[in-house]
Amino acid sequence: MSDAPPLAPDGLDDWLRRLQREDLPVLGDTVQALCNTAQDHGSSATDLARVILRDAALTSDVIRIANSAYFNPAGVRISTVSRAVIVLGFDTVRAIGLSLTVIDTLVRGDQHSRVRRVFRSSLHAAVQARALAEATGDPAPEEVLIAALLYRIGELAFWSLADDATAAGLETALAEGAGSPADIERDTLGFALRELSRALARDWRLGDLLTGALRPGAPRDGRARLTRNAHAVVADLEAGRLEAATNRVAREARLEPVEAGALIERATAALPELGRALGVDVGARTDAARPERLAEPTRQPDPALQLRVLREMSATAHESRDLQALFDLAVEGLYRGQALDRCALAALRRDRRGLAIRAALGVPAALYGALERVSLEPGSALAGLLAEGRPARLEDPRRRQVMAEAAAQLGPVVFVAPLQLRGRTIGVLLAEPGAASGEALREAFDGFCHLAEQTMLCLGRLTA
């Protein structure tokens, strides 16, 4: 429970304002950004990586979980968010990021016992929902898993952040009341906690699937019904109503009762494995399996990660013909492996007179646009640099000449490398070394050149 000023039960709108403005603004921003990557069909692995990479601890946890048996049963080694998307899929990586964000904001720490119970039930519903989605041929079972995990987000928020008096008052009312939990909540708080879940799903734009599952009345969408039924199945199981749970699954998945029972057993058996993957102990305190986060470390070059990135780039070149996946890996390698700032890979436009950024990390929107406006007209400084065919470390005055209007938004040193394919320049790799100087600056430039060379080798393999 929170030590913050009490969340007074003055109505749903007051709770929403307090949660969004004072207690959960970061959660709302991060969850919304992750959900937006799913709703925007033009989103790439770079868009997803950009959201995750805002938080170094989240990045580390996503990669750790991407290597877990639950999400990666084949045991493919993963060292970058971009590679995780290639191996596990966009939806799975997004699901991991959303799960971790909710856990670290609402579940860890000195929680009310209800937080642990609600979260365990939500995890259980998530594995049942995923199993049902797979059994019914759903094209994106990870979306259903996430909708089930977030279905009770209003309850998690309340029990995590309410002051002692408010939480104790509702706890007592639920224990002693004779009506339904929703009616007791309305009498005590002025609203039902499911209504808080629905309002958060709406205001944070957590997706049509979750919103539909939380809408009053019977869900009109089959996937929304499945999400809600997964929680009903878990409620039946927790109350000892195994036959009711089995019949519910049998109807939803059109299975024989014996098959439905086996599906429930398999999903339930996967619950501890999902808990371990997410770093929570589903049998005890939900924060017992992993310590609280430490302060984010200062970004430093990681030679071991640099090597793994190079290997993942080679593997991608051999396994697929996905140029965007290679671009994403190259930029993440610069940003995380070499700890460079403002990294971007841009392709030459069709008219070869300007750039179109294909992957970027750490690049604000204003700089993004300025880079795309740098001229490649014949005789321009950037066109001349690319014609030289080798990486360059730009410092003033050449930095201002080459980068034009973008120079004002860049640091005093910029690394630039032409990307060539069979003797023809097709793009450019750019990065800033931040505050590096002396030997550290030389090593940063050497690493940048090495990755640019590896990118060109992989481009050659992909397009052979």
Give the tens place of pLDDT for each residue, 305-363: 999 999 999 988 888 778 888 898 999 999 989 999 889 999 999 888 889 998 888 88
- Label residue 295 by pLDDT band (50, 70, 90): very low
Return the pLDDT at 112: 61
Residue 389 above 60 pLDDT?
yes
Domains of the chain: 12-278 (1.10.3210.10), 303-462 (3.30.450.40)
Cα separation of 438 and 9, whole Å? 59
State the Cα–Cα distance between residues 220 and 205, nearest whole angstrom. Answer: 19
pLDDT: which is higher, 258 or 2: 258
pLDDT band of residue 60 (cuts 50, 70, 90) is: confident
> Please, are residues 231 and 144 in contact by the beta-carbon 8 Å criterion?
no
User: What DSSP line would sit under 393-423, residue for residue?
Assistant: EEETTHHHHHHGGGGGGS-SEEEEEEEEETT
DSSP helix/strand/coil, 27: helix
| pLDDT for 290 | 42
Residues of the chain with pLDDT > 90, as a percent, come to 33
Q: What is the pLDDT of residue 47?
A: 80
pLDDT recorded at residue 105: 73
Single pTM value for the model: 0.68
Q: What's the pLDDT tens digit per position in 130-186?
A: 999 999 999 888 889 989 988 998 898 888 878 888 888 888 888 887 788 899 988
pLDDT at position 26: 58
pLDDT in tens, 16-46: 877 766 556 556 677 777 877 765 555 567 7
What type of residue is 405? E
Average pLDDT, integer, range 83-99: 84
In one-letter notation, the amino acid at residue 367 is L
Is residue 234 within a helix (H) or strand (E), and if so which, with residue range?
helix 222-238
Question: Whole-number mean pLDDT of the chain?
Answer: 84
d(CA 148, CA 384): 55
Q: What does the pLDDT look like over 254-282, one tens digit per residue?
A: 999 999 999 999 999 988 888 888 777 66
Question: Is residue 110 scored above 60 in pLDDT?
Answer: no
User: Is the pLDDT assigned to residue 55 strictly greater than 50?
Assistant: yes
